[in-house]
Structure 1
Amino acid sequence: MLIGTIAGIVAAAIVILIVLFKMCWRVAEPNEALIISGSKHRTEGLGEGLGFRIVTGRGTMVTPGIQTVRKLSLDLNEADLDVECVTSQGIPVQVKGVVIFKVGDDTISIANAARRFLDQQKFMGQRVHNVFAGHLRSIVGGLTVEEMIRDRERLTGETRAASGTEMEKLGLIIDSLQIQEILDPTGYIKNLAAPHAAAVQRDARIAAAEADRIATEAEQESFARKAEATRNSGIQQAGYQAEMDTAAARAQQAGPLALAASRQEVVVQETKVAELEAHRKEQQLQVDVRKPADAAAYETRTKAEAERDARISAAQAQAKETELRAGAEANRVKIAAQAEAEATKARGLAAAEATRATGQAEASAAEAKGLAAAEAARALGLAEAEAIKARAAALAENQEAVVAQQLAENWPEIVRAGADAFGNVEHMVLLNGADGMGEMFAKALTMGGTGLGLARQLLGSLNNGAQPGQEAAGDGTGATGAKADAPRPAGRHGATTQSIPVQSDRDS
């Protein structure tokens, strides 16, 4: 009895202990963290005095009534983004995306999230949406629509980088950020796609036309071969029939009737063949001419439009180049004009200085020349005065000697002057031969002697104040006496002649 009582007490105590253990023992699931508050706890990495304890992935003892245990989910969360933004071009766009996030696994992130979302975990997605919406508007405002469309990775990366610090403060980490759709209420994106869509449609139409052309060519070629086979078959059948008909005609009518029937059949078959050939040529014309002409016309229009755009671009570039070249030429002309003006000014100063120096030099030279000319004139006058004085002294002392000297010095000129009378005579005829020549030279010498007598007579008249012809007897000759006493050459027969008859060839 006692043993049974003891056993019952022990069993009850064990049960109570088990119940108390279950009430005090808490286990954190893999996707949650236990936040135990009610006493100070030291948490690794957070220092002392945190005020709560964090438990993840294990069990822990909790004192009921003293400590409180609450759970913080570590599951993934999703926040939809639907943000209206404006690009750098001023174009409104609507960006749709999704953010997948969760509370970080480290103690610091769990502590930050516990402080902010422990009792408001259902509002976590809204908070994340607000954070990303603000940063997304800021980033889209610095991009163009083209950059957003062509480089979504850039938009995603910049948004994640801008939101990372704030998400870390909230204790959250971003597992994924996806930009799902960019809507354009103004139609800007649609208009951007229009040229490309038109180009794709154009290429599709060209490809369809090319395929249709190839199919048509193959189909027409098949029809032509079929028609050719039909024609050959008809010709062979007509030939066989003509042979049969000819044989029958020959057998029945023999002669022109059979020939006429055969000819008629031949004409009929030739007509059918000609019709088939005309139809085939018509189909071939459609394939060879019309279809290529349509394709060539489309190609010509496309090339003409491209060439027109190229000419417009080239004209604009040429106009810009001409404008730049004109500006450069005007600047060059301006600089050259300034340089020419400076050079002209310098040359004018140099020319003025040179003119002044030249004038001074010419004045000095003129002064020196005048002094030299005056000195030379004075010396010449003195020399002439001395010469005149010497001639006067000589004339006073010995007049005849001076006159004789002057005549002797000028005798060649005197004889030359006497011979000038014969200078215009080309031919001369002497009537008395050699005696006439002698008389002619004697006359020339007599003229010289007469000149000497005249000079003596003049000197005598100057000295004595007498008239010419009354000279002293010691002289013995006057102008008249010299002429009378001059020797007279004898003629060939001793006759004296006073003149020499001369006959010129001009007179004869």
Structure 2
Amino acid sequence: MVIGVVAGAVLVAIIILVALFKLMWRVAEPNEALVISGSKHRTEGLEEGMGFRIVTGRGTLVLPGMQAVRKLSLDLNESELSVDCVTKQGIPLKVRGVVIFKVGDDFVSIANAARRFLDQQKYMGDRVHNVFAGHLRSIVGGLTVEEMIRDREKLTAQTRSASGTEMEKLGLIVDSLQIHEIEDPTGYIKNLAAPHAAAVQRDARIAQAEADRLATEAEQKAAARMSEATRDSEILQAGYQAERDKAAATARQAGPLSEAAARQEVVVQETRVAELEAHRREQQLQADVRKPADAKAYEKRTLAEAERDARISAAQAKAKETELAAAAEATRVKTAAAAEAEATKARGMAAAAATKATGEAEAASAQARGLAEAEAARAKGLAEAEAIKARAAALAENQEAVVAQQLAENWPEIVRAGSAAFGNVDHMVLLNGADGMSDMFAKALTMGGTGLGLARQLLASMNSETAKDTTAASAASAASAASPNGSAPRSERVPVQDEGHNS
């Protein structure tokens, strides 16, 4: 019973000791450092009595309640840089980069980092960004854009060197600093590269043109060589084709020639066999067949020759008959043509005679019409002359009577001319009745008397013209009496023959 109790107590004590040991033992991971505070410790490289102990890569005992254990990460950290800077030339730029850093592995760096970032490890990147941003602005301010572009490593080295002391105080080391991009919002870098880009483009175009020229020349030479090779090849192919055609023709002829030679040999052999057979049978058939056959052959030959001569005679007779028929037909056609020509000639002569007779009749008719018209004109002229002469005599003997006659004949026209003044009057008012009417008619008669005076003047002028006409009529009568036919001269009409009927 006592042994069991002792054994249980020992077991409990062992368990308690193991639990206490496990509770007090701390092990540092490879990427972290244990910072133990709560008692004075001497750490290599640090002042004595710093009040904390640093453990890396191993285990250590920690007294619970008396010491505090915290971890400091030794992993890599990254901080993005985006800094607005101004160069020595006053050109604004934006520099973009990245800083990769970590807590140093030595106890001094771990101690410095523990003092500054033990409870603020998540803000470590912001602190590093601020440090590098300040130094980067300062360094860019002392450089030109050209220097930054041509020697970016110089910018990186100066920035890293300037930030090294401060990073060491923070217990941090920089594993890498890279400047990724330099942004130029003003376009200075682009304009700076423009001449070089233009020169490069120019050189590229020149090189491309030169390459095109060389390529074109090479292509032309290659095309010429290809054409030459094609020509030579075609010539060779033509020669080979001619040889092949010749060989093929020879081969094609060789078969028929061989066949013909073989057939000739067969025929020769068959002929020999036939000759032997014929010679053998000749003796046998000499007496039985040949003489009767000769007789029959002679008979057939004679009959054939007679038939041939008969056909020849018939053909000759047919040809003669055809010749005679053709000659007769030619004679008939010739006779018909001559008859048609004579008939045509007779019809032409008849048509010409008819045309001539028609022309002569038309000429005689025209002449008769001309004479009749001349006689009529002469008679009319003589009648007019007699009338003018009679009127002139009447005027000479009794002018007043003639005037009165002319006035009587033209009295309606004279009255109409006198009353023309009243033609546009719509209404007329007579104030004195019958006396007014009498006065109006008296005025009309007065107008008529004025018309009579004018008529007399006209008649006087007509008398002089009448005397002239009388003289002209007398001259015309004398000319008519002097003409051979006793008639007025006439124009002679020449009959025109119809040329369409002359043959």
Q: In terms of Rg, which structure is larger?
A: 2
Query: Could you state the TM-score of these two structures normalised by the residue count of structure 2?
Result: 0.45
In terms of fraction of residues, the more helix-rich structure is 2
Query: Could you state the TM-score of these two structures normalised by the residue count of structure 1?
Result: 0.45
